A and B are shown apart, each in its own frame.
Chain A
Amino acid sequence: MVSTEVRILAGSGVCGAGFRAESLEEGIGKKPHFIGCDGGSTDPGPYPLGSGETAFGRSSIKRDMRLMLLAAQKEKIPLLLGTAGTSGGHPHVATAKEILLEIAEEEGLKFPLAVIHAEQDKNFLKKCFRQGRIKPLDPAPMFDEETIDKAERIVGMMGEEPFLKALDNGAEVVLTGRSSDCAIYAGIPVREGIPAGIAWHAAKILECGAASVEMRKTADSLFATCRGDHFDVEPLDQDLRCTPQSVASHSLYENADPFRLVESSGTMDLSTSVYEALNDRCVRVSKSGFAPAARYTVKLEGAEKVGYQTIVIGGVRDPYILRQLDSWLETGEANIHKRITDVYGDTITSDDYVLNIRIYGKNGVMGPLEPQKELTSHEVCLILEATASSQEIATSIATIARHKILHEPIPEWSGLITGLACTYSPAHIERGAVYRFNVNHVLEPVDPYEMFPIEYMNVN
């Protein structure tokens, strides 16, 4: 039995999603050995990774970061911030670092900082690809050197090792590019002698903040104590409760497999975990396993630009149109394509743009998988969506689509009709560049540090 105790405070599920200041303070009162928080994931879709922007506003990120930084500095404990700025590429890390330095200046803080980069050099990736060191996960999009070239950026998801190296080299605050959420929390307890299965399972619960409570009200902090053969987890808001079921069921959330969770250095095995209520709001977890990986792998995430998009939002209320909605839109769509040919001749073919009409009130949410085929609503919302190689062409197509659908006739009415209630003027909304995820692969690095260079600086 290990006698070590490691106490961990998770600031929030995401830096920028928020937490109660009182909860963080309550957690600090329990004397954590470190504070952790991740700054994002692929959850908001491909846009942040592709564009370099953050999913949460700068002010939201700054508020959360400020409270965590002040608390960690006051207690003289490490602050580990993973996946900076939503996606953890170079621009995201740069934004998060800028915010961190601003806070330090405003608060007069001085500390050794490590910034760990995770965006991958394209030549390095091509070399690894040629060496057969990039392997597909399931399901994986097609991947070759062209995929690497087309990607706006590809990031690697670092494990716990670069965090520990930065701490060993004296960093008090570690800000990283894309990292495993769990790695933020698991590295320290494992090194302190907590069994890997317990440390990683605690990390998995911590990385979502207060998501593992019975009735989540809002994003909040969470506290775990790893000790010997178990960990105890409890929310910091006295109104929240962790129950054996709420903690056990957290391994379901956002995971394909509830029993096996793959990390760079191994796989968690939660199939034998035991959950026991210590009181009505604190749960003890034991008997979780962790099998070290036969081969260390780093997950890659990438996004490429698809084009530019413009949409038109409108509604249909006429019962006569609604009863023939599909055929009405089919004819309308054909007329849109015809008008595009009139305008652009053979300079644009149907391969150069995508026109997508979404019908809310019919199958807007589930698309072709919607089991209810019959239209029962008295009105529907249409989104006419054009994607093309430039914003100008996308907008041009969207305006053509608006005009064609607006006046598309039905046999019941003679004369010019206006069959679309446009919500806005102008009716179209330019959505800018749109992206798609283009990588679901792992890379076999030489060691856990190869892909993640560390930059050290003294903030003062």
Chain B
Amino acid sequence: MKTIGELAKLVRSKNAGPFVMTIDIMFADSETYELVKKTGILNRRMVSEIYQMSENQVQFFEVDNCYAFKISIPRPCFQGDIRDSDSHAGQQYAPFVDLMVPGT
């Protein structure tokens, strides 16, 4: 079984304005993308579990024209607030990297 990190060409997170953060998981080709898509391993529920929020706060997109999944969620702390620990939200994607993808 391979991980998302091994299969993807890019896994990243970033602030989308000061109040929202967004995670991109992109693959090099349509085959790998479709394979991961078919497993259904990436979905709103698993994102809501990782970031401890309700499913309806999670925006989940399948972006076919660039072989990517995209997830947007409200930031747990607004950018730069006292307890915020990642101003650009650049390192919040880490839990996805080692995620095992069944059937790979």
Query: Using a CB–CB distance below 8 Å, which chain A residues touch chain B?
Result: 42-47, 137-141, 244-245, 248-249, 252-259, 273-275, 306, 354, 356, 358, 364-369, 371, 387, 434-437, 440
Contact = CB atoms under 8 A, between A and B. Distances in A.
B59 A249 contact: no
Contacts of B80: 45-47, 434-437
Interface residues of B, number: 40
A437 B18 contact: yes
Contacts of A139: 19-20, 74
Given A248-B65, A256-B59, A365 B22 contact: no
Interface of B: 10, 14-20, 22, 24, 26, 50-52, 59, 61, 63, 65-68, 70, 72, 74, 76-83, 85-88, 91-92, 94-95
Contacts of A244: 65-66
A185 B77 CA distance: 32
B63 A437 contact: no
A365 B87 CA distance: 10
Contact of B59 (A254, A257, A306): A257
B78 A437 contact: yes
B65 A254 contact: no
Given A252-B66, A257-B61, A367 B82 contact: no
Contacts of B87: 44-45
B50 A46 contact: no
Given A248-B65, A274-B65, 9 more contacts: A42-B17, A42-B79, A46-B18, A259-B63, A366-B85, A366-B91, A366-B94, A367-B85, A436-B81
Contacts of A358: 85
Contact of B14 (A141, A254, A259, A364): A254
Nearest to B29: A245
Contact of B50 (A43, A47, A371): A371
Contacts of A367: 76-77, 83, 85
A140 B18 CA distance: 10
Nearest to A358: B85
Nearest to B28: A245
Contacts of B85: 358, 364-367
A257 B72 contact: yes
Given A245-B67, A252-B70, A257-B72, A356 B18 contact: no
Nearest to B23: A252
B56 to A, nearest CB: 12
A430 to B, nearest CB: 16
Contacts of B77: 367
A252 B65 contact: no
